[in-house]
Structure 1
Amino acid sequence: MVIGLTGGIGSGKSTVAKLFSKFNNIIIYNADLEAKKLMNTSTEIKNKLIKEFSEEVYQNNQLNRPFLANIVFNNNKKLNELNSIVHPVVYKHLNDFIQKNTNKDIVYENAILFENKSNLFCDKIITVTAPTKTRIQRVIKRDNSTYKDVEKRINNQWKDSKKIMQSNYVINNLCISDTEKEISRIHNFLTNTKY
């Protein structure tokens, strides 16, 4: 089973994924992490990014993240172009991962699960939510970002209400002990196993 795990920036998806990874029958696939790795290792992605965004997109053979972020978070057309280059390679990588891990349930963590139609890969979907103010504070603390930058990134993602309508489960991630209980409840329900 592939369980999609999504939520806006700062909602706490990675915390939820980490808690799910404690179960023996679950393995995590973090789309963002794998995309970052592939952007530095895939020749196909590198060549297309250089063609689209110039040589400056790589420095010392590593992706120049600030340079690229500055372009795509200020231009929706460029963001869509970036996604159209990276996502097909990530999908192939995910597919290979699913084939190699048929003995486990996969929690597929993806911030833009609906936006890039990755929900079509999933048997069930969990959306993680938190109040916008909390999310912004978390990201500022985590990434040392500015309020304005975080707000811009939030505005580039779907609203929680839209994600919730298409999800099987919702985790309101404010209090860690409540989140843990909800994860156990969902896990038990999905696997019919009591731990």
Structure 2
Amino acid sequence: MKNHSPPIIGLAGGIGSGKSTITKCFNAIGIQSVDADDVARLVVEPGSNCLHQIHQRHGNDILLEDGSLNRNALRTIIFNQPEERLWLESVTHPAIRKEIQSQLNKTSSKYTLLVHPLLFETKQNTLCQFVIAIDVPIEIQLQRVMARDKISQENAEKIFITQLSNKERMNRADLVLENSGNIDKMNAKVIKLNTKILELLVC
């Protein structure tokens, strides 16, 4: 049976690049999206197989009182023990990939935006017809991450080390979207980019 799911357009940007804000701009003009960060939270919810495996490995220290994942505790572990990050990815990435595909299959807009901080690193770009890379100054990213997650600059920089640089991401992408933080300008940029994507999909 032929797959009638919409074409997939990747939106790749590192942590703090403004993916959520940009995604809302696309959603506002009728483009549906699947966000890998949302999926990553979903697969470690209480009762999930992933959370069970993480609990088995790290004990009660990685659980909050309500039984949900203590993200800060787990983040500290994987920051300081790179081998634990690799183990965690071996557990969560297959579950994330499966759930992403399930959600993509349910969309119905002209194309679907696959929003992913590790699009190239996890080879999810192979699902995409085109990839948009977000261009944002590293200084702005650092400020956003430190303020949002209430972490030190040192810990924020450790996250960046695990991701492609903005330059590498842009070199591998088909389209680039500059995001210096002005929401009004971003709405206009997204409308213009949407027109270009629709033209490319027709070609």
Q: Give the TM-score normalised by the residue count of structure 2.
A: 0.86
CA distance in 2, matches of 1:188, 1:148: 40
Q: Which amino acid aligns with 1:187?
A: N
Deviation at 1:133, TM superposition (A): 1.1
Mean alpha-carbon deviation: is it higher for 37-46 or for 109-118? 37-46
State the match for 1:19 in structure 2.
25
Alignment partner of 1:51 is 2:82: no
In the alignment of these two chains, the number of paired residues is 192
Q: 2:12 aligns with which of 6, 12, 36?
A: 6
Give CA-to-partner distance per residue, 1:28-71, whole Å, 9 cap, x none: 11111121122014532122212333343223320111110001
CA distance in 2, matches of 1:42, 1:92: 17
For structure 2, list consecutive stretches of 5 or more residues without a partner in the other structure: 1-6
CA distance in 2, matches of 1:41, 1:166: 37
CA distance in 2, matches of 1:192, 1:93: 29
State the match for 1:163 in structure 2.
169
When the two chains are superposed, the root-mean-square deviation of aligned CA atoms in Å is 1.9
CA distance in 2, matches of 1:97, 1:62: 23
Identity among equivalent pairs (%): 27
Deviation at 1:150, TM superposition (A): 1.3
Give CA-to-partner distance per residue, 1:150-175, whole Å, 9 cap, x none: 12211221111111111011111013
CA distance in 1, matches of 2:77, 2:67: 19
CA distance in 1, matches of 2:150, 2:9: 31
State the match for 2:36 in structure 1.
31
Alignment of 1:18-97 (within 5 A): 18-24=24-30, 26-41=31-46, 43-59=48-64, 60-97=66-103
1:8–1:129 contact (8 Å) kept in structure 2: no
CA distance in 2, matches of 1:101, 1:41: 26
Alignment partner of 1:120 is 2:120: no
Q: Give the TM-score normalised by the residue count of structure 1.
A: 0.89
Give CA-to-partner distance per residue, 1:85-136, whole Å, 9 cap, x none: 1111111111111222245421111111111111112111111121111111
Q: Which amino acid aligns with 1:27?
A: Q
Deviation at 1:177, TM superposition (A): 3.5
CA distance in 2, matches of 1:127, 1:42: 35
CA distance in 2, matches of 1:112, 1:57: 24
Deviation at 1:176, TM superposition (A): 3.1
**What SS does structure 2 have at the residue aligned with 1:11?**
coil
**What SS does structure 2 have at the residue aligned with 1:138?**
helix
